[in-house]
Amino acid sequence: MDIAYFFKILPHFISALPITLIVIFFSQLFGLLLSIAVTYIQIKSIKVLTPLAHLYISFVRSTPILLQLLLIYYGLPVLLSLFGININFWSKTAFSIVTLVLHNGGFLSEVLRPAYLAVEQGQHEAADSLGFTSFQKLRRIIIPQLLPIALPGLGNGLIYLIHDTSILFVIGVVDVMGVASNLVSSSYGTDQIEVYLAVAFVYWAVTYLSDKGVKRLEKITERYHLENGLKS
Amino acid sequence: MFEFNIFAQDFLNISTVIPSTLALALLILLISIALGGVLAFIEQKRVFVLWKVSQLFRSFLRGTPLLVQLYLAFYCLPVVLQKAALLAYLPFNQNDFNPVYTVIVAYSVHFAVFQSEIIRGSFLSVGYGQIEAAQASGFSFFQTMRRIIIPQAIIEALPNFFNSYLSVIKSLSLAFLVGVVDILAKAKLESALNFRYLESYAAAATAYWLLCSIMTYILGIYEKLIRKRA
């Protein structure tokens, strides 16, 4: 162990951190939107779309993320060129965001669907009998009750997403892991332990902070729990 | 474009490594369950100092990606073993250390945290009345464990263990980065021969998908059986 080297290379990783954070942010944002759409399709049981959504979720959940990344990276340009769309100029970061959005969308919809179903039928009926429109019902009754149930699962999803960004260097994205593998290959097989320990600490910090953020949100939404709401 | 012949050929070649992948994943699962049991015991009983260490350990394992842990183990383990072998005057060469052992160690430790959660939850799900009834019947601690708690906890835990078996199989796809051949690694090797990446990755995806569908089907049957008996 060479502590001096460890501190010398730490700034390299911190300068590469924004790329990882951008990937995490966009993947989480669009993944959440996609998962809401998929959950809607699943719950409403629409003719062709619902079996397709089931197929999509089963695929996303049963193949490794690394394989999905490679399939998108090599397969998506071929697939879209059939329709005359050229995406060969896309950056590797864009391909990784697409992969993570697709992965996260399937994963999070498996969190949202049970949370939606966990809101009691009586709540729907009460809102209906008070004459709420379906949008009002969703905004004022269902979503506030759904959030505290879904948040732990969504937080777990965020942690997994952060972990999943560690494989993006396989297609050549220069994020934290990419910098690490460049450092390892340029140091001729020495000091790998320091490099990966530094990576571990960077990831640990990111996960810790996001965990704290999710815990905070959980605290805020706690009062929407039916039993807690009656107390306050 | 997509060549179906190559896809079929790749699929056949990939299916030869499925048994070894399943066996490796099973070994990892069993070791991680044993480790997870120890962790769950330490955290539940709040064993002096070890409890705090295990919390730090858990935070680290949850906070860092499996891939980083795998690389750390890949570079640390041979060096550590070399030092230990020198102390014990054992012959050991770190250069021909098989990376499969690294994978087994890293994955078992990583998944032990998840298993400990499963084990803790399944033990807590056994009703307290059961334990009281056992004590009232004069069972010793060991007897209560063996005859009352563990049989009920196992039924609760099995579906979760099954799910983590699936996630071990999926995570083994990362092992090709340290040179262990599993389903995805085989697909990569196949595609390196003829540069047909898409076909071989599609074949690997089909293999994984089939595996998981079959396992989920078996799990469904098991859960139905349990529900019937309950």
Q: Is residue A98 part of a domain?
A: yes
CA distances from A72 to A80, A159, A210 (A): 11, 22, 27
- How many pairs of residues across A and B have Cβ atoms under 8 Å apart? 102
A109-143 pLDDT, tens digit per residue, is 989 998 998 888 888 888 889 999 888 888 888 88
Q: Is residue A231 part of a domain?
A: no
Q: How far apart are CA A113 and CA A105, in angstroms?
A: 12
Q: Does A166 touch chain B (CB under 8 A)?
A: yes
A chain contacts of residue B63, beta-carbon cutoff 8 Å: 203-204, 207-208, 211
Closest CA to A118 of A150, A93, A89: A150
Q: Is residue A232 part of a domain?
A: no
User: Whole-number mean pLDDT of chain B?
Assistant: 87
At residue B14, what is the residue type? I
Q: What's the gap in Å between the CA of B71 and the closest CA on chain A?
A: 7
User: For position A231, what pLDDT does the model report?
Assistant: 53
Instruction: For the beta carbon of residue B228, count every other beta carbon within 10 angstroms.
Output: 7
Asked if A66's CB is within 8 angstroms of B184's CB, the reply is yes
HSE-CB for A64 with a 13 A CA cutoff: 25
φ, ψ for residue A63, nearest 5 deg: -115, 150
Residues spanned by the domain of A157: 3-225
**Ordered per-residue pLDDT tens for chain A, 232 residues:** 678 888 888 888 888 899 899 999 999 999 999 999 999 999 888 889 999 999 999 999 889 999 999 999 988 888 888 888 888 888 889 999 999 999 999 999 989 998 998 888 888 888 889 999 888 888 888 888 888 888 989 999 999 999 999 999 988 888 888 888 888 888 776 778 888 888 999 999 999 999 999 999 988 888 777 665 555 4
A17-35 pLDDT, tens digit per residue, is 998 999 999 999 999 999 9
Closest CA to A59 of A8, A110, A16: A110
Q: Is residue A186 part of a domain?
A: yes
Q: Does A127 touch chain B (CB under 8 A)?
A: no
Q: How far apart are CA A219 and CA A172, in angstroms?
A: 39
Q: Is residue A121 part of a domain?
A: yes
Helix axes B99-124, B18-45, angle to 10 degrees: 50
The structure tokens listed for A182 are 């460049």
The structure tokens listed for A190 are 């020495």
> Minimal Cα distance from A197: which residue of B?
B72
Provide the CATH number for the domain around residue A179: 1.10.3720.10
- Structurally, chain A folds into a number of domains equal to 1
Q: All domains of chain B, ordered by start, with CATH? A: 1-17+183-230 (no CATH), 27-180 (1.10.3720.10)
Average pLDDT, integer, range B60-79:
90
Q: Is residue A182 part of a domain?
A: yes
